[in-house]
């Protein structure tokens, strides 16, 4: 079974030859450490370890405002980006950029820039079609990765400190922004298809939870965001492709809502936030594909026995009847040695094969 077929069958809740094995993010410092431990300097981790692959591509989802430099030092740079956000970006750290201020905080400011969020071929990178054909020649699973509508509000347009209060104080404003973003995303996805880029899935990356649960209430999700997610899911169904979500944090309260909205998979199921795929599988079966939950902390600091139990006990439950893909519970940090990561994959291959 090819990697692409294995992932497709799993996302359709079928039973493949083995669980798909994916890790999509390795910290830069991790690869630096591994090179010192014998990892080939120019090697791609997925190719080197024989992992399955999901290739992701996106398009320009910004307001296309002029980028304005503000300040730059040896450690950071501050600039106003193409969404009007004032951003502080670190040069010597993998930490995410800080959102210092935004240009959209009210209806008037939103209506001023709203017309700029228009689909167009200029938002698709010129080299994208060639890259897509390269992936297709390798028979890889390809997903489009547009900005998720609420993440557009929280991370791209306003910043968390400005946006979260407005979910309660001005829900009509937030609803209009997420609805506009949803229509824009679907128009752009359709434009990609018309340009010859036919993808195997649509994958939103949107951290709508944190370590203590959802960032806003289930009621707010139902009223403001679920209609948009359902609209995207309906479009995906017409294309015959799955809808995936990356969401960090404790997603236990969120999962029933995601199932109701129609999501096909949830990733990465952070173990340190309380998620346990053994419990989730018993509760929800194959209503949604579970993608991840193998603790990077156990990879890094657990004993050999703890590591084997982490992988064996979770895979044995999660893979039953299909509907599970291996992934760490976040990304692979530099606390995980090359030898230990190699052992992780050996154990996944041992326990993740269907008889």
Question: For residue 43, what are its two tokens?
Answer: 């090697």
Its sign, for the CA torsion 206, 56, 27, 265, is positive
**Residue whose entry in the numeric block shows the structure tokens 């968390």:** 160
* CB neighbour class for 136 (10 Å; exposed up to 12, middle 13-18, buried from 19): middle
Distance CA 339, CA 328 (A): 16
Does 347 score more than 90 pLDDT? yes
Q: Report pLDDT for 41.
A: 94
Percentage, residues of the chain above pLDDT 70:
100
Per-residue exposure over 313-331, b if at least 16 CB sit within 10 Å of its own CB, e if not: ebbebbbeebbbbbbbbbb
**Which domains, ranges and CATH numbers included, belong to the chain?**
3-63+104-351 (3.20.20.210), 66-102 (no CATH)
Does 355 score more than 90 pLDDT? no
Q: What is the pLDDT of residues 181-195, one digit of tens each?
A: 999 999 999 999 999
326: β partners: 21
Please state, rounded to an integer, the average pLDDT across all residues of the chain: 97
Does 331 score more than 90 pLDDT? yes
pTM over 0.85: yes
Q: What is the pLDDT of residues 45-89, one digit of tens each?
A: 999 999 999 999 999 999 999 999 999 999 999 999 999 999 999
Q: What is the pLDDT of residues 116-125, one digit of tens each?
A: 999 999 999 9
The gap between the terminal CA atoms of the chain, to the nearest Å, is: 14
Edge-to-edge strand ranges of the sheet holding 68-72: 68-72, 76-80, 86-90, 98-101
Does 93 score more than 90 pLDDT? no
Does 96 score more than 90 pLDDT? no
């Amino acid at each position: 079974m090819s990697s692409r077929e294995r992932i497709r069958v799993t996302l359709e809740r079928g039973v493949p030859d083995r669980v798909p094995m994916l890790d999509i993010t390795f910290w830069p410092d991790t690869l630096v450490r591994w090179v010192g431990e014998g990892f080939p300097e120019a090697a791609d981790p997925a190719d080197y370890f024989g992992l399955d692959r999901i290739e992701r591509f996106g398009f320009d989802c910004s307001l296309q405002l002029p980028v304005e430099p503000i300040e730059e030092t040896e450690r950071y740079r501050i600039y106003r980006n193409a969404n009007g956000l004032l951003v502080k970006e670190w040069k010597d750290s993998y930490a995410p950029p800080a959102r210092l201020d935004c240009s959209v905080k009210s209806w008037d400011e939103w209506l001023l820039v709203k017309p700029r969020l228009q689909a167009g071929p200029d938002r698709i990178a010129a080299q994208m079609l060639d890259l897509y054909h390269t992936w297709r020649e390798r028979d890889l699973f390809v997903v489009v990765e547009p900005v998720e509508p609420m993440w557009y509000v929280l991370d791209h347009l306003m910043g968390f400190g400005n946006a979260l209060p407005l979910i309660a104080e001005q829900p009509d404003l937030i609803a209009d922004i997420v609805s506009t973003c949803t229509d824009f995303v679907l128009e752009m996805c359709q434009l990609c298809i018309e340009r010859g880029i036919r993808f195997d899935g649509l994958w939103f990356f949107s951290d709508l939870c944190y370590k203590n649960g959802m960032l806003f209430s289930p009621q707010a999700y139902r009223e403001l965001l679920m209609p948009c997610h359902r609209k995207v899911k309906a479009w995906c169904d017409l294309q015959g492709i799955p809808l995936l979500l990356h969401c960090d944090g404790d997603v236990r309260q969120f999962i029933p809502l995601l199932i109701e909205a129609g999501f096909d998979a949830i990733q990465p199921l952070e173990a340190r936030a309380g998620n346990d795929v053994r419990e989730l599988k018993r509760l929800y079966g194959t209503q949604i594909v579970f993608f991840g939950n193998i603790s990077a902390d156990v990879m890094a600091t657990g004993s050999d026995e703890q590591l084997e139990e982490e992988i064996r006990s979770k895979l044995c439950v999660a893979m039953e009847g299909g509907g599970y893909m291996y992934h760490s519970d976040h990304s692979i940090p530099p606390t995980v040695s090359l030898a230990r990561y190699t052992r992780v994959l050996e154990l996944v291959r041992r326990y993740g094969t269907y008889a």
